[in-house]
Structure formats: structure tokens, C-alpha cells
Amino acid sequence: MKLSVTDRKYSTELSAANDSERVNIAGWVHEKRDLGGLFFLIIRDREGYVQVTFHKRTVGKELFEQGRKIPRESVVSIKGIIRAEPKAPNGYELIPDHLDVLSVASQILPLDTTGKVGAELDTRLDARFMDVRTERTKHIFMIRSRMLKTVRNFLIDRGFVEINTPKIVSAATEGGTALFPITYFEREAFLNQSPQLYKQMLIASGLDAVFEIAPIFRAEEHDTTKHLNEATSIDVEVAFVTMEDVMQLLESLVAHVYAEIASYPGLKSVALDFEVPPTPFRRITYDQAIELLAAEGTELEWGEDFSTAHEHILGKAIGEHYFIIDWPCTIKPFYAQPIDGTDLCDAFDLMHPRLELSSGSQRVHSYELLKERIESKGLAPESFEFYLNAFRFGMPPHAGWGLGVERLLMTVLGLENVREAVLFPRDRRRLVP
Ligand code: AMO
């Protein structure tokens, strides 16, 4: 990897082959090893480590004393000559001739960046900037970046148009989860729970296949390892397709994300058992899921949603990614298409054995039926006029889904807590940093 905005070299751009070259490196003082007349500064940059060797005899007294005094985690820029050195960690060392201390770190550090002393998640999140300096956390966020790039490219390559929709909104979309109210001048407004209404309205625009990767806000009170109050959602909506089409898109996207991450060089320092899941994913109906629970000795009344405990039992019994389809309409949102002559809706959840990753559906595209569905949920169609209008002047059949970025990253990497997959989590207790 090379940073193209500076002539500064990353540790990984250098090797014994650069012997005798004068280079410029920069980074943090990761470790100091003092052997008396000789000491090493191990300088850490984003890609790795450089051993900088200070011999009193060769670097001169002034530079020697300057280097020796720098506290760990201070930021430095060093110029010097590369020398091949088989005993150094990467087969080379840097013999400094110029050292700039750009920022002196305080002596007592909130975290150990070498990973030798572990820390509680809360301590790590309180000092997140420092936590990202550790190998494992750095790789989690490098992988997150790679994952988002993969998703974006995957969708754009398939003809999708990236959209941005408002996060300050006037109406709820997802029954069951509460909204965060905000003051919008003289009116009440909310932080959006989902771009649902907007991505559907854009189907009436003729853009045909749209996606958005953006925050969603859920005022959920619970404090769990899988809920955030601000999450990032990959939302997709496609015209002239069936639910099965978007389920296939989703499973191939998930498998593709795994395959891309499999080749990430730092993967081993985050996830030890990593396997690309085979596709297609299994499909079971809501009724079959209830039967499976019964076979495992757990009752669930028809029409009730699965609890976390139910999800765990199903996940354990199935042991791989699976879809649950054919849901009772009573527990799916108003925009899910009812299946004629039944109480069921053409909706699905994509499940990882540990938790729900995504949900989606065939959408109601008839104006009259949609109005009815809104009323059947005890909601007022007048509050949805801006949305309903898009269904009155030519709305194609369409389907789509929403996939949680943090839950995807958490399950791909086997992270214990969803907070590990977001830089600055927002939860019931945490509003800073
Ligand atoms: P849903 O409410 O199921 O569906 O959300 C879609 C996906 O977003 C993620 N997610 C969350 N992740 C972390 N913390 C949360 N509190 C949280 N809430 C949701 C999950 C979830 O599966 N409009 C529909 C999608 C659609 O039909 O297109 C929706 O929002 O991974």
C-alpha cells in the first residue's frame, strides 16, 4: 500500500532491497528498547513497523539524546538511511540523521497499543482513537472500509444508482421501533429509522435500481450485543422484480463480501475461523421455523415474532445462513405485499445463525391497497401523503431489502459485540466520544 499524497514511505514499502537509500518515514513511537549505548525506536505506521536504530557513535550525541527522551506514542517524522539488517524484524533498519518530534504524548496512556495488556470494551471505546492504533482494531476498520467498497462496487457493477435520502423526516416507517424526536424549527420531526419511504418513492422516479449506505436511527431502549441506536444500513430497492430476485442479489452480495475479505492480509489477526458461506442460502417458511422450534422443544404462538432466544435455537439447529419467508402480515410493515387469500406477506428475513442480518419484501405497489395496509396498522394515511402520492402516477412492482453494516461485519469477523464494528457507537448509555 502506498499513500499517494506524500513522499513519506510506509514501513511496508521498504525492505533490505532499499539498502543505502535515504527515506522519510513518519508515525508513532510504538516501543522503545534501550540497550545503553544503543537503542531502538519501533515506529508504527498504518501498515506496519520500522526499526530505527540509534548508535551513540554513529548518530551523534544530540540526536541520540533527542530520540531517547521521546515518550511512547509520540508522533515523529524521521529521515535516514536504510540498511539491510537480517536481525531486524523486516530485514532492514533505519539509521536516522534527522528527527522531528511532531507531537509529544502524555506519559500515562489510556490503553496499551502493543496488545500485551488487554482492556475492557468500554475502556477501548472511551479511548477509541487509541484503540484503533492496536493491530486487531485497526484491521476491523480497514476491513469495514473494504467491505463498503465491495458492496458499492458490486451494486454499481449491476446497474444500481447510489442515492442519498433525508435523515430528518416527518414519519415513521418501521412499526415496533421507536423514533428519536427532534425540534425542526416550529415543528416536530424525527431522525429516520430507514430510508424505506424514499427508496420506494425513487422507484416511481424511473431510476429502476437504487441503493443507499447511510445511518439509521432507532430509539430502542434495550442494551444488547446486537443493537445500536445509530446503525448503518445498506438499503436496496429494485423495480420490475420479484422478492426472489432481490433475495438472490442479497445472498450473492453476502457471499461476495466474504470472498473479498478472505484475501485481506490482516484477516488472521481478527478472525481465526473464517469460511465463505456456500450459496444459495436455505429458505424456510415462518411456519417451518415454528415447527423447527417445536421439534427443539420450544413453543411459539403463530403470529408472534422470534425472540433472540428463538433465533439462537433456530440458528443452532440450521447452522448456516438461512432465509425465513412467508411471514404473518401482522408482524411485517405495511409496505410488505400480502399473499392473496392468506394472512401471509411476501417478506423475508436473512438470518445468520447468531442474529438477523437483513429484512426485505415484495412491496405493495397498488395505491389503494397501500392505503388500506397503512390503515390496518392503525396509522393515518394523511401522514404518508407525500409517499402515497408516488403510487398514484405510475409505480412499477418492486422489491428490496435493508442490510445492517455492523451486523454483517460482526458476523463475518465473528465479533462478540456489535459495538466492535462501529468506530463511535451510539447506545443507551453512550453519547461520547
Ligand atoms: P429492519 O428494521 O429489519 O428493516 O432493518 C434492516 C436491518 O438493519 C439492521 N438494523 C440494526 N442494526 C443494529 N442495531 C439496530 N438497532 C438495528 N436495527 C436494524 C439489521 C436489520 O436486519 N425498511 C426495512 C428494510 C427493507 O424492507 O428494505 C428495515 O428497515 O441488520
The residue whose CB lies within 8 Å of the most ligand 1 atoms, and thus the one to mutate among 169, 197, 224, 233, is 233
User: 306 CA to middle of ligand 1, Å?
Assistant: 15
Q: Is the dihedral of CA 296, 300, 303, 304 positive or negative?
A: negative
- CA 288 – ligand 1 centroid, Å: 23
Q: State which ligand 1 atom lies nearest to the alpha carbon of 228.
A: 14
CATH of domain 128-421: 3.30.930.10
**pLDDT, averaged in runs of 10, over the chain (433 residues):** 84 96 98 94 97 95 96 98 94 97 97 92 98 97 98 98 96 77 94 96 98 97 95 98 98 98 96 94 98 97 98 98 98 97 98 98 98 95 95 98 98 98 97 97
Residue 266 DSSP code: T
Q: Which amino acid is at 402?
A: G
Amino acid, single-letter form, for residue 81: I
> What is the Cα gyration radius of the chain?
27
Ligand 1 atom nearest to CA at 196: 23
| Residue 33 parent element (H or E) | strand 22-34
Let me know: does 17 contact 82? Beta carbons within 8 Å. no
Among protein residues, the one with the nearest Cα to ligand 1's atom 30 is 194
| Ligand 1 centroid to residue 341 C-alpha, Å | 28
> How many angstroms is it from 227 CA to the middle of ligand 1?
10
Cα 111 to averaged position of ligand 1 atoms, centre (Å): 33
Tell me the C-alpha distance between 201 and 174, whole Å: 16
User: Ligand 1 centre and the CA of 132: distance in Å?
Assistant: 26
From ligand 1's centre to the CA of 351, what distance in Å? Answer: 12
Structural contact between residues 30 and 52, judged by C-beta atoms closer than 8 angstroms: no
In this structure, the residue with its CA closest to atom 22 of ligand 1 is 358
173 close to 334: Cβ distance less than 8 angstroms: no
Environment class of 380 (CB within 10 Å of its CB; exposed 0-12, middle 13-18, buried 19+): exposed
Q: Which residue has the cell 390496518?
A: 376
Mutual angle of helices 135-157 and 243-262, in 10-degree steps: 140
Ligand 1 atom closest to the CA of 347, numbered from 1:
27
The closest of 391, 336, 375 to 359, measured between CA atoms, is 336
- Residue 237 C-alpha from the chain's centroid: 20
Atom 5 of ligand 1: nearest residue by CA position: 402
| Cα–Cα nearest to 97, from 71, 65, 58, 70 | 58
Q: Where are the domains of the chain?
A: 11-103, 128-421
For residue 85, the CA-to-ligand 1 centroid distance in Å is: 53
Residue with cell 435523515: 167
Class of domain 11-103: mainly beta
Threshold 0.85, pTM exceeds? yes
Q: What backbone phi and psi angles, to 5 degrees, belong to 371?
A: -60, -45
Q: What is the pLDDT of residue 176?
A: 64
If you measure from the C-alpha of residue 88 to the centroid of ligand 1, how many angstroms do you get, rounded to a whole number?
49
Strand partners, 23: 80
Pocket test for ligand 1, best of 163, 165, 177, 194 (most atoms within 8 A of CB): 194
In the structure, which protein residues have their CB atom closer than 6 angstroms to any atom of ligand 1?
173-174, 194, 196, 218, 220, 227-228, 231, 233, 235, 356-361, 400-404, 406-407, 418
Using an 8 Å Cβ cutoff, are 238 and 398 in contact?
A: yes
